[in-house]
Structure formats: structure tokens, C-alpha cells
Amino acid sequence: MFLTSVEKTIRALRRQIESFGISEELRGYNWDKPPVEPVNDVKIAISDLNGFCPTKRDIFLKYVLKEKAEPNQYMLKGLAVHRIIRETIITLKKAIYSGCDSGEQIINEYFNNSIPYRVCESLDIDCRNICKEFSKLYRYIVLQVAAKVDEVRSKYPDVDAENVVGLILPPVVERKIDGSLIGLSKSLSLDIFTPYNIIIDFKSGYERFEHMLSLSGYALALEADDEVDVNFGLLIYIKTGERVQFNQKAFLIGDELRREFLEVRDEIAELIESGSDPGKPPECPRYCCYYGVCNEGSC
């Protein structure tokens, strides 16, 4: 589940590791030495790496002026997608443990469910079309899991529920990580950590380089917290609409990305410590969650 057909890509990335390697000094478990050691005591959120403000004034507003961000529709949609995936996986795990042992049974009992509507309600998303899109996402996951259950049962006829869950569903959804050793928040939440040294993040918007940076941040935080090597990142871009689409982007979390993550982390930490206003860019994106503060308020 979520990792279908990614094996070939991972094989290619393994070859990249063999050719280029990953420098030990850039592993998260070297958090007590530069360049991984934080430049000051500031702790930032992973989402700070993904901001839309060209001058990073969003960071100044959030940490220095303590302004509240106004979540835009993209942020709410992203939150909803994460919650639906999490709740659906947990629900289906429970279903398998409580005796649902065929794809047909899973579809009969779980194809229709209120999870997407409950999530919309909890986030105050009051748009029938969006909730319908989320129902499609929910059903897409149910169908994938149902098909996998049948596949596993036909391949290994004597498996029990524990084996089925272990073979088709990710072991940990929203894995908590203490990122404080590398200057990140104490309570990071990674979408999925797999046993193959791959970390996974779901995205509901368009592809951005910053998404690779934030996944690199999770990798270093995990290396620092667990003293393990994390080599690969997988971004899964989810499109909902007429059809549900999952587009995967797998990459090696190599030296270049690690250095870039550390540079941006330091830049943000220094900006917060200095307390100075970096000013506005010539034009602000309308969807920036501080648009009202910078362009209609008093700041």
C-alpha cells in the first residue's frame, strides 16, 4: 500500500548511494557538531521551510510578533487529506483485526463511511464538492486495501490478521519525532516511516522543491532521535477531483539536499533571533496565510 511500483526507483537510488554516498558529518546523529549542530536555541516547525513569503516575513510575524495565520483553503485541504488517510488506515487495520478477512467483506462493510464528512466538519470545510472529492479518496484507499487483502490471502493461505496488516498497511502513521536536537520542534509528525529506510510525506498541492527540503528535515531529525540512517524520501502528491491520483516522487536524501536544509534552517533561526522585520516583497501571493495581516492590517 502506497509503495506499489516504487521498488525499481528505490533500486536506482541505492545505486546513487553506492556511487556518491552520504557524508557522515551531514547525518542527523552528528547533531553536536557543525554543520548539523543548531546555530542557536531557536526551534522551528517543519512547515516553516515550506512558506510562500519570498522575504520570510511570515517567520517574523509568527515568531516575533506572534501573529496568527489565517489558514487558506489549500492548507485546510491538505490537513483534511492527512486526517482522512490516517483515520481510514486505522479503521481498516481495526477491521482486519476484528475478523474482516476478504476484500469483499471490507468493501461491503466499509465502502460507505462517514469519515470524510466528519473530517470536513471538524475543519469547518463547508463545501459539498470538496467533501465528495474526499469520499472518493476514502473509497480509493478502501478498494486498494480490499484488493491487497485478497492478494495476500491467495499468496499466503495460512496468514493471520497480524500478518495481513503487517504486509499491506504501513506500521506507523504519523510517527512522532523529537526534532529539538537539530533545531526543530520537539513534536514533529511524519506521515509514514517504513521499515525500508524510506520516509513518506503526503502532499495535496503542486510539486515544490521545498517539499524535498522538509522531508530532508524529517530525515535528519529521525537520524538524531533514533540514531539510524535515513536515506530515501518519497513524496506522494494526491489529487482529488473527478479521479483520485497518487503521483510518487522518490529521491535520495543526499548531501546537497541536507546542506540546503541546514542553510535554510540556520537562516530562519537567525532571523527569529535577530527579531528584525525583513520587509515585504514587491508583491504578495493572495493565498499567503498572512495576507490580511500584511496588506489589510496595521503591520
Strands of 172-177's sheet, edge to edge?
Answer: 172-177, 188-193, 198-203, 232-239, 245-252
| Pick 29 or 290: Cβ nearer ligand SF4 | 290
**Is residue 58 a contact residue for ligand SF4 (CB under 6 A)?**
yes
Residues 6 or more apart whose Cβ sits within 8 Å of residue 220: 26, 27, 28, 36, 182, 230, 258, 261, 262
> Phi/psi zone of residue 57: left (φ > 0), alpha (ψ -120 to 50 degrees), beta?
alpha
Tell me the three cell numbers of residue 189: 509528525
**Is residue 42 a contact residue for ligand SF4 (CB under 6 A)?**
no
Locate the DSSP E strands across the chain: 172-177, 188-193, 198-203, 232-239, 245-252
Question: Rounded to the nearest whole angstrom, what is the least distance from the CB of residue 49 to ligand SF4 in the complex?
Answer: 15
| Pick 205 or 281: Cβ nearer ligand SF4 | 281
Count residues binding ligand SF4 (CB under 6 A).
13
Binding to ligand SF4 (CB under 6 A): which residues in 280-299?
Answer: 280-281, 284-285, 288, 290-291, 294-295
**Is residue 232 a contact residue for ligand SF4 (CB under 6 A)?**
no
The residue among 152, 162, 140 whose CA lies nearest residue 240 is 140
Letters for 2-41 (x = contact with ligand SF4 by CB under 6 A, - = none) are ----------------------------------------
Determine contact, residues 167/21, Cβ cutoff 8 Å.
no
236 - beta bridge partners?
202, 248
Question: Rounded to the nearest whole angstrom, what is the least distance from the CB of residue 51 to ligand SF4 in the complex?
Answer: 8
Residues 6 or more apart whose Cβ sits within 8 Å of residue 214: 46, 47, 49, 50, 201
Member of 2, 13, 57, 272 binding ligand SF4 (CB under 6 A): 57
Question: Rounded to the nearest whole angstrom, what is the least distance from the CB of residue 289 to ligand SF4 in the complex?
Answer: 7
Question: Rounded to the nearest whole angstrom, what is the least distance from the CB of residue 237 to ligand SF4 in the complex?
Answer: 23
Question: Rounded to the nearest whole angstrom, what is the least distance from the CB of residue 296 to ligand SF4 in the complex?
Answer: 10
247 - beta bridge partners?
237
Member of 45, 46, 49, 53 binding ligand SF4 (CB under 6 A): 53
| Pick 69 or 123: Cβ nearer ligand SF4 | 69
Tell me the three cell numbers of residue 296: 489589510
Binding site for ligand SF4 (CB under 6 A): 53, 55, 57-58, 280-281, 284-285, 288, 290-291, 294-295
